[in-house]
Amino acid sequence: MPSLVINPYSEINSVAVIGNYVPRQCGIATFTADLVQALSAESTERACWTIAMNDQPEGYAYPNKVRFEINQKQLSEYRLAAEFLNINKADVVCLQHEYGIFGGPAGSHILKLLAALRMPVVTTLHTVLTKPADEYRTATKRLAELSDRLVVMSSTATETLHKVYGIDPAKISYIPHGIPDMPFVDPNYYKDQFDVTGKKLLLTFGLLSENKGIEYAIQALPKVIKKFPDIVYIILGATHPHVLKADGESYRLGLQQLVRKLNLEQHVIFKNRFVTLEELCEYLAATDVYITPYVGEAQVTSGTLAYAMGTGNPVVSTPYRYAVEMLAEGRGRLVPFKDPDAMADALIDILENDNERNAMRKLAYDYCRPSIWKQVARSYLRVFNEVKAERIRQPRSYRQSPLLVKDTAFKQELPELKLDHLLAMTDDTGLLQHANYTIPDRNEGYCTDDNARALIVAAEARHLLAEKPYRYERLCDLYLSFLQHAFDTKNGRFRNFMSYDRRWLENTGSEDSHGRALWGLGSAVALLNDGRQLPLASTLFKLALPAVEAFTSPRALAFTLIGIHAYLETFSGDSGVRRVRAILAERLFKRFTDHAKDDWPWLEDSLNYANARLPHALILSGQWMQRDDITSMGLKALEWLVGIQIDNGHFVPIGNHGWYTRGGAKARFDQQPLEAHATIDACVAAFKLTSERQWLNHAMSAYNWFLGHNDLNLPLYDAKTGGCRDGLQSDCVNQNQGAESTLAWLLSLSTLHGVSADEVLTILPEQTVAVGV
């Protein structure tokens, strides 16, 4: 076939760019906006627009270039965005990729969108990890499979993609980080605007966070000031919004205290704001030496460094990967990480040697001329035309969605987590136990095991919902405070029932309630990343754990083992907790082996409540203890249990009016939501262990029980309130929406959302339809 001649500027009529967008304050947003503007400037006839990622439900006041918005945590919105792109028939989609701006494990939600697209995809990688965890490695390889071309901004990134991820270099294009077209000027020209006339100006700019290493630059100043008493160091930029939400201004305050401690108040100026491009260019033009003192080597691109060099700034930097490449051949000076003395020496040497400093400025400026946005936009257009031509020559196989393959359990869209009823049931003490219809029943007060499970829901909500996190942080605080108050330090046990007037109704709660409290606390340790909450959750967990060694209730052991499993996901090296896990797992396993028969592989002569928690605990514990005998028993027991809870193709949990005694009749009603929840969790654990998709199908059967695929064909989930009705009776649904039922629904939905997100990573592409452009 003859080669296709490509006109680099006329083939592409419509480009859609996916990424963050201004006025959101982050580097990706600035990059995306600059790229869209540069592409638009190359032709007034070419449509160039944006799909913006939102990290808050209300979004931002975007300009007209933004045509669609995605709530980054809502997987369903990625599918809708793909439909929008396909309907609007963009010629090319250009994705700005950074793991943290997308939802799902390792930012994997975006893969669902890409898999459904019918046009070529060019992905710009803003981060390339050299030592990725497994899920990041998988996500990156899937991203490469779904992209027609990967764009990197450094040659070291190309090397890493080939050596670490096995990606063909022919699929990778190098395009430098774009910069504004700024003149090469004498720094003294702009200094009067910042009241630094006659002084030497050092500058660092960008959103503040601890990985910037600015404390090391500050510590270098006293030595520099001895040589150059007129030094001024401007630290320009607001604190990163996510850092601000998580930690407030603690990093900035620490830097300010360091300045005071070193008596540098006359030499260090903090500018705590997000500056315009025009202001930034003026600051850079006035700078004598630019500093990037980052503390880690992994960074493969830096817009701030590119901007500084593009203005002709001499640069002193630590040797992160992008800086090593950019500052080679005399274009800047590298110093070791976290070494203030070396940084001071480099600054002094550059400031003392005018000829070397001016030569460095010129080398940096000339090197970056191909990086001005006009040139970068043209490079992107060449790549866009190449991938479009390649699609014409060789149409690409695709499938509509990584979650719509024929054997997946997820053929239906999962609803969003809705916490309205949970919030209605929660007051300033904690979660109330019961409700009359949807109205909280204050006469029944509170209980510890409900508040423990509510803590899990609140912690999960922080990851699944894009609403402002303080709402769920407050809920975590509230439920965690209840557990702290419930714990009796004298006997190491939790109390369970509390009256509405805050009187404990017992000195010691049941073993099962204690186990549920440990389940909630262990899960909170795994889910919470808040420095305020994690210490209390882990401390309470450790204080309450020893009492379980004397317990005899098998369900208490199971609840505790599930909590231990979650706790060890964060503190895997805790040998004391690992020892308790071994003791409890062995004890529960022995109960099964001593009692189980071929026709009744169970640890007791009856099935009653929370049955699936028992094999669930064996599956989790056996897997991580590398005990195949324990996991085999768990899988065998769960398979048997699931089998006797399926009738006429739908889930029928053991009823609590009589339960099911060996040799007797199985109670059909009342069917309880906590049985469906326990079954979902256990089947998902079995799927994760075995990768056998039958377990997901069983989990979805239990899930659909909530939605009306049950004996009465009536839903228990109330889509209006977000709550769950209390059970399925022989002739009706119990209309009360108590805490336990609502928590069972919310926790079930959270589990399935997690599996749905994981599916994007685990399902490989299928060749189903050939699509060109």
Q: What's 397-449 look like in SS3?
A: EECCCCCCCCCCCCCCCCCCCCCHHHHHCECCCCEEEEEECCEEEEEEEEEHH
Lowest average pLDDT, out of 128-142, 152-166, 276-290, 358-372, goes to: 276-290
Closest C-alpha to 164, from 202, 136, 126: 136
Count of other CB atoms within 10 angstroms of residue 525? 25
* Joined tokens for residue 55: 């990290």
Instruction: Please give the residue that has the higher pLDDT: either 414 or 484.
Output: 484
Mean pLDDT of 682-687: 97
Closest C-alpha to 304, from 149, 178, 404, 140: 178
In the predicted model, is pLDDT for residue 387 greater than 80? yes
Closest C-alpha to 473, from 523, 528, 436: 528
Give the integer Cα–Cα distance in Å for 330 and 346: 13
* Joined tokens for residue 281: 């260019």
Please give the model's pTM, rounded to 2 decimal places.
0.79
Question: Which pLDDT does position 400 carry in this prediction?
Answer: 43
Question: Which pLDDT does position 354 carry in this prediction?
Answer: 92
In the predicted model, is pLDDT for residue 466 greater than 70? no
Give the integer Cα–Cα distance in Å for 743 and 151: 45
* Joined tokens for residue 741: 């039922």
* 556 contacts 512 by C-beta, under 8 angstroms: yes
* First and final C-alpha spacing in the chain: 19
* Distant-in-sequence, close-in-space partners of 343: CB < 8 Å, separation ≥ 6: 216, 217, 220, 291, 293, 316, 335
* 728 contacts 715 by C-beta, under 8 angstroms: no
- Percentage of residues in the chain having pLDDT higher than 90: 80
- Band the pLDDT of 407: cuts 50, 70, 90: very low
- Band the pLDDT of 2: cuts 50, 70, 90: very low
For tokens 């899990």, what's the residue? 456
Give the integer Cα–Cα distance in Å for 62 and 52: 9
User: How many Cα atoms are found within 13 Å in the side-chain-facing hemisphere of 202?
Assistant: 31
* 518 contacts 555 by C-beta, under 8 angstroms: no
List, for residues 74-96, the tens digit of each pLDDT value.
Answer: 888 998 999 999 999 999 999 99
Question: Which pLDDT does position 454 carry in this prediction?
Answer: 98
In the predicted model, is pLDDT for residue 764 greater than 60? no
In the predicted model, is pLDDT for residue 408 greater than 50? no
- Band the pLDDT of 677: cuts 50, 70, 90: very high
* Joined tokens for residue 454: 């509510």
In the predicted model, is pLDDT for residue 402 greater than 60? no
* Joined tokens for residue 635: 């899988």
* 650 contacts 663 by C-beta, under 8 angstroms: no
Closest C-alpha to 283, from 269, 293, 295: 269
**23 upstream amide cis, omega within 30 of 0:** yes
* Distant-in-sequence, close-in-space partners of 737: CB < 8 Å, separation ≥ 6: 421, 435, 437, 438, 718, 721, 723, 724, 725, 726
262 φ/ψ angles, rounded to the nearest 5 degrees: -95, 5
Instruction: Please give the residue that has the higher pLDDT: either 469 or 132.
Output: 132
Give the integer Cα–Cα distance in Å for 453 and 471: 17
User: How many Cα atoms are found within 13 Å in the side-chain-facing hemisphere of 624?
Assistant: 23
Rounded to the nearest 5 percent, the helix, strand and coil shares of the chain are 50, 15, 35
Give the integer Cα–Cα distance in Å for 350 and 640: 75
In the predicted model, is pLDDT for residue 106 greater than 80? yes
Give the integer Cα–Cα distance in Å for 653 and 670: 9
Question: Which pLDDT does position 379 carry in this prediction?
Answer: 97
Lowest average pLDDT, out of 145-154, 265-274, 562-571, 614-623, goes to: 265-274
* Distant-in-sequence, close-in-space partners of 441: CB < 8 Å, separation ≥ 6: 432, 433, 434, 435
Amino acid in the structure at residue 645 = Q
- Band the pLDDT of 762: cuts 50, 70, 90: low
List, for residues 260-278, the tens digit of each pLDDT value.
Answer: 999 999 999 999 988 888 8
In the predicted model, is pLDDT for residue 594 greater than 80? yes
* Joined tokens for residue 569: 């996901």
Question: Which pLDDT does position 530 carry in this prediction?
Answer: 67
Which residues are paired to 149 by β-bridges?
Answer: 122
Mean pLDDT of 631-645: 97
List, for residues 333-351, the tens digit of each pLDDT value.
Answer: 999 999 999 999 999 999 9
Give the integer Cα–Cα distance in Å for 450 and 520: 9
- Count of helices and strands (H, E) across the chain: 26, 26
In the predicted model, is pLDDT for residue 9 greater than 70? no
Question: Which pLDDT does position 769 carry in this prediction?
Answer: 38
* Joined tokens for residue 19: 């990424």
Q: What angle do CA 224, 230, 231 make, to 5 degrees?
A: 50
Question: Which pLDDT does position 190 carry in this prediction?
Answer: 78
Question: Which pLDDT does position 467 carry in this prediction?
Answer: 67
Count of other CB atoms within 10 angstroms of residue 764? 9
The DSSP code for 504 is B
User: Residue 648: left if φ>0, alpha if ψ -120 to 50, beta else—which one?
Assistant: left
In the predicted model, is pLDDT for residue 654 greater than 90? yes
Q: What is the mean pLDDT of the chain?
A: 91
In the predicted model, is pLDDT for residue 188 greater than 90? no
Per-residue CA distances from 348 to 199, 202, 231, 236, 266 (Å): 14, 12, 11, 22, 19
Mean pLDDT of 667-686: 97
Give the CA dihedral 434, 435, 440, 445, nearest 10 degrees: -20
Closest C-alpha to 475, from 463, 458, 452: 458
User: Given strand 231-236, what is the order of strands in its sheet?
Assistant: 268-271, 231-236, 200-205, 289-292, 315-317, 333-334
* Distant-in-sequence, close-in-space partners of 103: CB < 8 Å, separation ≥ 6: 72, 73, 74, 75, 109, 757
* Distant-in-sequence, close-in-space partners of 84: CB < 8 Å, separation ≥ 6: 51, 67, 68
* 690 contacts 622 by C-beta, under 8 angstroms: no
The DSSP code for 235 is E
In the predicted model, is pLDDT for residue 472 greater than 90? no
Give the integer Cα–Cα distance in Å for 179 and 162: 27
Closest C-alpha to 24, from 261, 237, 217, 241: 241
In the predicted model, is pLDDT for residue 192 greater than 90? no
Mean pLDDT of 45-49: 88
List, for residues 15-35, the tens digit of each pLDDT value.
Answer: 999 999 999 988 999 999 999
Mean pLDDT of 496-520: 97
In the predicted model, is pLDDT for residue 767 greater than 60? no
Host H or E run for residue 498: strand 497-498
- Percentage of residues in the chain having pLDDT higher than 70: 94
